């Protein structure tokens, strides 16, 4: 099983947010505190695994013509279930993510993986794909959260370590702009640039290895 | 003929999938419904106890714009639930007012304000700024006595307008 | 409150102060995807205005008369996305038959709109804000106008970005995001702007 390869793809070379540029709405909108990022990442990972498994199971039953509609219904079902479960058992998270939980339905990552992977691969591979892509998404969110929270409010882990998190910068220094919409665009732009740079270096190194051989 | 059969098959499959999804959702909803209702009720109750501690809350007709519910608390005061427009959507809040028309407490039940800015309206030191006042309020920027939250004037104005609504309501009723 | 003032306030908010893309982060995918040229951006914008207004009306009616009366509010997300998908399909077929020239121009954008979160977002926000029918339609329409405004402005910035000299890693997408960030910054100026 090439789990490691898939994990590397999910985290870096084929990261859903940073390389495939999918699901950017939620990435920018909710990454203001670490709590939001982890919660959203886990919710999406769970939904991604479930929908990948079910779609992979049904891939031979669903006719080609109506596949998108069928996928959307399945995904919407899982999203609503997660929404209801969060409301019942983790109300704090459901309060702070608000409308972005139901909006996971139109998060392109899930439909994208259904179409690009689960509809062509077996159940186990699809589950692993859901997990690794989910981890990649969560990692991107967490990095965004840490940067924005640190620069924007000067704290770390708001909501995870107590209501106010751990204060690193004194309250008067942080640039509030970073947790406003502007900060979302700027942080994501820089992160994507970094990913492109790292991926290029990796590709160059691979090429050199090949040449040396 | 083959075409019609094919379309029928497509519809049937899609219908089946939708039906299964709907069934499962019904089940999950059935399992979580009571808990969600209970949580909502507990949250409202806790907010009422916070803004005006009392043993018994009796619901009284609210009616007015923005006021979503009102309760008579032990004949000693009122708890008014208000919904106002903040920066990121509705702010749902509870205001406690005693019989003399003085604010005893403010509690924010839910809001969609920006984290670290408008979301600071849930902080105790901000909410405490309202306690003990009885006149119509305004933020200091508008010539009033309430200091607005840093970088969140819109949110502060919204909360102030909510408290004013509650005060007016109590004046009318009491 | 006076109905007209309420509607005016909703419109102003939806277009400027709470712009769907730049402030609420809804509809980023098409915003980044089809903003390379101004004329495609205009096409997409018009298609979105059309679908958002129709979707607001349709989902409002479905929610009010079907879901709420049957006590099935928890099915909102599933039903709304189905209604939107069906609506988009229907608009596509209608345009193809009735206005082929418009279909030629907008056709390719329509299927993309089903997965545009601004459309599902407006349907959900209408319910959350408990808008009346008229308010919901106005919110959808002006939300679409706000979307068009942002995407058209952005596309003209982006055309200039194509030839600029910048670090290689920033070329293309990252630079576009940063430009969008600056646009969002300028829209923040509207945030104090409110009609109560």
Q: Report pLDDT for A44.
A: 94
Contacts of C104 (CB under 8 A, 6+ apart): none
pLDDT > 90? residue C41: no
Q: Report pLDDT for A123.
A: 92
Write out pLDDT tens, residues A172-208.
777 777 877 888 899 999 999 998 888 888 888 888 8
Q: What average pLDDT does range B139-158 have in this prediction?
A: 79
Q: What average pLDDT does range B91-110 have in this prediction?
A: 88
Q: What average pLDDT does range B3-10 have in this prediction?
A: 83
Q: What average pLDDT does range C64-81 have in this prediction?
A: 86
Query: How many beta-carbon pairs below 8 A join chains A and C?
Result: 116
Report which of residues C152 and C68 the model is more confident about: C152
The CA distance from C26 to A181, in Å, is 11
C5 interfaces chain B, CB cutoff of 8 Å: no
Most C CBs within 10 Å: which of A95, A181, A200, as the mutation test of the C interface? Answer: A181
B114 interfaces chain C, CB cutoff of 8 Å: no
Q: Are A28 and C28 in contact (CB under 8 A)?
A: yes
Which residue among C128, C181, C185 places its CB closest to the CB of A189?
C181
Residues of C within 8 A of A26 (CB-CB) are 25
| Strand, helix or coil for residue B11 | helix
Question: Considering chain B, what is the average pLDDT of its residues?
Answer: 83
C164 interfaces chain B, CB cutoff of 8 Å: no
The CA distance from A31 to A38, in Å, is 9
Distance from CA of B100 to the nearest CA of C (A): 29
Q: What average pLDDT does range A3-26 have in this prediction?
A: 83
Q: Report pLDDT for C196.
A: 45
CB contact under 8 A, A66 and B10: yes
Write out pLDDT tens, residues C4-33.
887 888 888 888 878 888 888 888 878 887
Residues of A within 8 A of C27 (CB-CB) are 25
Residue with tokens 């691969």: A121
pLDDT > 60? residue C192: no
String of b and e for B18-53 (b: at least 16 CB within 10 Å)? Answer: beebbeebeebbeebeeebeebeeeebeebbbbbbe
Most C CBs within 10 Å: which of A76, A84, A199, A202, as the mutation test of the C interface? Answer: A76
C74 interfaces chain B, CB cutoff of 8 Å: yes
B89 interfaces chain C, CB cutoff of 8 Å: yes
CB contact under 8 A, B39 and A88: yes
Q: Report pLDDT for C37.
A: 83
Q: What average pLDDT does range C75-91 have in this prediction?
A: 87
Contacts of A22 (CB under 8 A, 6+ apart): A16, A107, A108, A109, A112, C29
CB contact under 8 A, C129 and B25: no
Task: Choose the weakest-confidence range: A31-40, A70-79, B135-144, C166-175.
Answer: B135-144
The first and second tokens of residue C111, run together, are 């299927």
* Percentage of residues in chain A having pLDDT higher than 90: 30
Write out pLDDT tens, residues C95-123.
888 878 777 777 667 777 877 788 988 99
Least Cα distance to B164 among B72, B95, B91, B89 occurs for: B95
pLDDT > 70? residue B50: yes
The whole-model pTM stands at 0.84
- Name B110's bridge partners: B92
**Phi, psi (rounded to 5 degrees) for B150:** -60, 125
B28: closest chain C residue by CA: C74
Q: Burial-class residue B64 by CB neighbours within 10 Å (0-12, 13-18, 19+).
A: middle
Distance from CA of A12 to the nearest CA of C (A): 15
Q: CA of C161: how far to CAs of C21, C31, C153, C176, in Å?
A: 20, 16, 13, 8
The first and second tokens of residue B116, run together, are 């670290």
Write out pLDDT tens, residues A146-170.
998 888 878 887 777 766 677 887 7
Question: Considering chain C, what is the average pLDDT of its residues?
Answer: 84
The first and second tokens of residue C101, run together, are 């020239």
The CA distance from A40 to C149, in Å, is 30
Name the interface residues of A facing C (CB cutoff 8 Å): 21-22, 24-26, 28-29, 68-69, 72-73, 76-77, 79-80, 83-84, 99, 102-103, 105-108, 111, 177, 180-186, 188-190, 192-194, 196-197, 200
Write out pLDDT tens, residues C163-187.
777 888 788 888 888 899 998 888 8
Residues of B within 8 A of A98 (CB-CB) are 112
SS (H, E, C) chain C: CCHHHHHHHHHHHHHHHCCCCCCCCCCHHHHHHCCCCHHHHHHHHHHHHHHHHHHHHHHHHHHHHHHHHHCCHHHHHHHHHHHHHHHHHHHHHHHHHHCHHHHHHHHHHHHHHCCCHHHHHHHHHHHHCCCCHHHHHHHHHHHHHHHHHHHHHHHHHHHHHCCCCCCHHHCCHHHHHHHHHHHHHHHHCCCCCCCC
Q: Report pLDDT for C191.
A: 66
Q: Are B49 and A102 in contact (CB under 8 A)?
A: no
Q: Are A76 and A105 in contact (CB under 8 A)?
A: yes
Per DSSP, B58 falls in state E
Task: Choose the weakest-confidence range: A91-105, A126-140, C136-150.
Answer: A91-105
The CA distance from C27 to C115, in Å, is 9
B126 interfaces chain C, CB cutoff of 8 Å: no
pLDDT > 90? residue B62: no
Q: CA of B153: how far to CAs of A98, B46, B90, B157, C70, in Å?
A: 22, 27, 15, 6, 41
Q: CA of A152: how far to CAs of A89, A169, A178, A188, A193, in Å?
A: 30, 10, 5, 14, 21
State how beta strands A166-167 and A155-156 pair.
antiparallel
Which residue among B29, B90, B154 places its CB closest to the CB of C129?
B90
Residues of C within 8 A of A28 (CB-CB) are 25, 28
C126: closest chain A residue by CA: A99
Taking the CA of residue A14 as centre, how many other CA atoms within 13 Å lie in the half-sphere pointing to its CB?
16
Full strand arrangement of the beta sheet holding B67-73: B57-60, B67-73, B77-85, B90-98, B103-110
Residues of A within 8 A of C181 (CB-CB) are 182-186, 189
Q: Which chains touch B (3 or more CB pairs under 8 A)?
A: A, C
Residues of A within 8 A of B17 (CB-CB) are 58, 62, 70, 73-74
């Amino acid at each position: 099983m090439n789990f490691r390869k898939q994990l590397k793809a999910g985290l870096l070379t084929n990261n859903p947010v940073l390389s495939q540029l999918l699901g950017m709405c939620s990435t920018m909108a909710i990454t203001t505190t670490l709590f939001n990022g982890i919660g959203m990442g886990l919710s999406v990972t769970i939904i991604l695994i479930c929908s990948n498994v079910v779609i992979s199971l049904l891939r031979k039953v669903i006719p080609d013509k109506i596949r998108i509609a069928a996928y959307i219904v399945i995904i919407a079902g899982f999203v609503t279930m997660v929404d209801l479960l969060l409301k019942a058992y983790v109300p704090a998270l459901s309060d702070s993510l608000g409308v972005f939980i139901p909006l996971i339905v139109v998060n392109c990552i899930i439909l994208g993986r259904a179409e690009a992977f689960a509809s062509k691969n077996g159940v186990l591979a699809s589950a692993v794909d859901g997990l690794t892509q989910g981890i990649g998404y969560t990692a991107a969110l967490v990095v965004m959260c840490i940067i924005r929270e640190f620069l924007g409010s000067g704290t770390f882990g708001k909501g995870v370590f107590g209501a106010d998190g751990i204060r690193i910068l004194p309250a008067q220094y942080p640039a509030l702009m970073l947790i406003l919409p502007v900060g979302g665009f700027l942080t994501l732009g820089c992160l994507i640039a970094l990913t492109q740079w790292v991926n290029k270096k990796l590709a160059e190194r691979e090429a050199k290895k090949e040449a040396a051989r | 003929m083959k075409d019609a059969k094919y379309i029928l098959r497509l519809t049937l499959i899609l219908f089946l999938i939708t039906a299964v999804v709907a069934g499962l959702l019904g089940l999950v909803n059935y399992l979580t419904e009571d808990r969600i209702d209970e949580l909502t009720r507990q949250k409202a109750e806790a907010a009422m106890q916070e803004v005006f501690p009392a043993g018994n809350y009796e619901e009284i007709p609210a009616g007015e714009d923005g006021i979503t519910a009102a309760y008579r608390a032990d004949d000693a005061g009122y708890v008014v639930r208000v919904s106002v427009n903040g920066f990121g959507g509705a702010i749902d809040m509870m205001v406690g007012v005693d019989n003399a028309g003085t604010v005893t407490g403010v509690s924010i039940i839910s809001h969609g304000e920006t984290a670290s800015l408008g979301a600071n309206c849930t902080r105790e030191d901000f909410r405490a700024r309202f306690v003990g006042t009885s006149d119509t309020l305004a933020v200091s920027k508008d010539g009033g006595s309430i200091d607005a939250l840093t970088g969140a004037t819109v949110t502060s104005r919204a909360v102030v307008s909510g408290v004013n609504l509650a005060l007016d309501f109590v004046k009318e009723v009491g | 409150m006076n109905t007209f003032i309420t509607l005016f306030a909703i419109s102003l908010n939806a277009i400027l102060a709470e712009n769907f893309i730049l402030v609420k982060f809804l509809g980023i995918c098409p915003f980044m995807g089809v903003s390379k040229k101004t004329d495609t951006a205009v096409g997409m914008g018009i298609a979105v205005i059309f679908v958002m207004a129709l979707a607001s009306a349709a989902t409002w009616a479905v929610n009010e008369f079907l879901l709420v009366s049957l006590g099935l509010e928890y099915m909102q997300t599933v039903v709304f996305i189905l209604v939107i998908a069906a609506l988009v399909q229907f608009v596509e077929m209608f345009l193809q038959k009735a206005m082929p020239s418009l279909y030629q121009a907008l056709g390719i954008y329509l299927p993309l709109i089903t997965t545009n979160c601004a459309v599902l977002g407006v349907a959900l926000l209408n319910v959350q804000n408990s808008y009346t029918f008229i308010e919901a339609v106005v919110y959808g329409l002006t939300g679409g106008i706000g979307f068009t405004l942002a995407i058209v402005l952005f596309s003209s910035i982006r055309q200039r970005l194509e030839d600029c000299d910048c670090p290689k890693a920033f070329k293309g997408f990252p630079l576009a995001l940063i430009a969008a960030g600056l646009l969002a910054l300028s829209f923040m100026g509207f945030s104090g702007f409110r009609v109560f």
